[in-house]
Amino acid sequence: MRRLVPVSELRVTDRYRMTSSAAPATKLPPELVSDWQALESRWIDGPLSEWRALLPEQFNTGLSPARYGDLPRWREAIANLPPLPTAGIQLNAARVGISGSVPTETLDTLHTALMGLHPWRKGPFELCGLHVDTEWRSDWKWERLAGAIAPLRGRRVLDVGCGNGYHCWRMLGGGAAEVIGVDPTPLFVLQFKALQHYLRQQCIHVLPVTLEAIPAHLPVFDTVFSMGVLYHRRNPMEHLVSLRNKLAPGGQLVLETLVIEGDENALLEPNGRYARMGNVWQLPSPGLAARWLAQAGFSRVEIIDVGQTSLEEQRRTPWMTFHSLAQFLDPDNPGLTIEGLPAPRRAILTAELLP
């Protein structure tokens, strides 16, 4: 028999329930409940409230078991992380993690659990003596820029394409008041969660979101980082304008990208793959990248570092056993990629938005 239900008893759809402050936390991916709870109260006012309203749906899409068949396996890896003493937290060190030591059996359990999140690309990390020796020495990139950017103390920071959040930890260690990393790759979000399981820092969040999914005009961040993302975007100018629209007046952009040698007109558009990557669209010279920044509305553009990527900085390790830079270069000429294009060279630029 059919029963009429008073309107007040009708279930509002989950989507709307979660955007209200009485959101049932259980409807979110379990890993992101704590992020939602923190941001729900922190972003209640001002322009960030617009993004806040989108978060529950973005979280559910970004960590959807229907889209990502490996999620249950990764979740199990995190569930198997053993307890560790968490006294000596190191954020401002090359190896982000915790000092201290634990019995060998605990280290073995930790090793197995973390290996369940292979491949580890960005790092290094160290947990109670276990060195997570990642494909990239991401600490070297940090060393190149840390002394040249506006000090992060007290700043609200956005790290676009943050990977597993290695640099986010360094930003927090550098004194940032709030660090928001966004990256659409769910494995990297879970790697961040494995570290956060032990480091338990407030005011740092790695969210499974693309830059494009953030409200377009959100001028609230004091520093915005885009490192290793520009050349993956079909339209680099659109990317730069989108980054500009996230900066508060007077804020700073830190842009890191693959570049080629040449004057300020030099541009490489790989016709096909570049160093085996299928989604590399445009590699500017450092001078052209600087021009793009000026065209996108930035001031005080500076090239703070340029250099060739070495086989020591990006390499295969026990924590990333797939092919790496050595396999992407011409075996007879390390100055060329396997496709015959100039080997990877990277630049870091800073630029400001006038107050």
Q: List contacts with ligand SAH (CB under 6 A).
A: 122, 138, 141, 160-163, 182-185, 188, 210-212, 227-229, 232, 256
Of the pair 243, 260, the CB lying nearest ligand SAH is at 243
- Nearest residue (CB) to ligand SAH, 285 versus 314: 314
Nearest-approach distance from CB 55 to ligand SAH, in angstroms: 15
* Least distance in angstroms from the C-beta of 278 to ligand SAH: 13
Instruction: Please state the closest distance from residue 44 (CB atom) to ligand SAH, in A.
Output: 25
CA atoms within 13 Å, Cβ hemisphere of 149? 28
336 vs 315: CA distance, rounded Å? 16
Instruction: Report the alpha-carbon distance of residue 303 to residue 37 in Å, rounded.
Output: 39
Residue corresponding to tokens 């490192």: 227
Whichever of 166 and 298 has its CB closer to ligand SAH, that residue is 166
97 or 163, CB closer to ligand SAH?
A: 163
Tokens found for residue 189: 């979000």
At closest approach, how far in Å is the CB of 152 from ligand SAH?
A: 16
Per the CB < 8 A criterion, the answer to whether 90 and 129 are in contact is no
Distant-in-sequence, close-in-space partners of 154: CB < 8 Å, separation ≥ 6 = 175, 176, 177
Q: How far apart are CA 43 and CA 158, in angstroms?
A: 14
Cβ 129 to ligand SAH shortest distance, Å: 25
Listed residue (342, 259, 266) closest to 306, CA to CA: 259
Three-class DSSP category at 186? helix
- Which one, 138 or 282, has the nearer CB to ligand SAH? 138
DSSP calls for 262-275: SSTT-EE--SS-BT
Inter-residue contact 338 to 275 (CB < 8 Å): yes
For residue 312, the SS3 value is coil
- Do 178 and 154 form a contact (C-beta atoms < 8 A)? no
Report yes or no: 84 and 110 within 8 Å, Cβ to Cβ. yes
Closest separation in Å from C-beta 13 to ligand SAH: 27
For residues 126 and 256, which CB has a smaller minimum distance to ligand SAH in the complex? 256
The answer to whether 187 touches 70, Cβ cutoff 8 Å, is yes
- C-beta closer to ligand SAH: residue 128 or 164: 164
Instruction: Give the contacts of 330 (CB within 8 A, at least 6 positions apart).
Output: 336, 337, 338, 340
Could you give the residue ranges of the DSSP H alpha helices within the chain?
14-19, 33-42, 48-62, 71-79, 104-115, 138-146, 166-173, 186-199, 236-244, 286-295, 325-328
Minimum CB separation of residue 42 from ligand SAH in Å reads 21
To which residue do tokens 């940032």 refer?
176
Shortest spacing between CB 178 and ligand SAH, in angstroms: 18
Is the Cβ of residue 19 or residue 185 nearer to ligand SAH in the bound state?
A: 185
Is the sign of the CA dihedral 198, 160, 317, 67 positive or negative? positive
Point out the residue whose Cβ comes nearest to ligand SAH: 161
| Closer residue to ligand SAH (CB): 211 or 218 | 211
Q: 90 or 185, CB closer to ligand SAH? A: 185
* Shortest Å, Cβ 228 to ligand SAH: 3
**Distance in Å, CB of 351 to ligand SAH, minimum:** 17
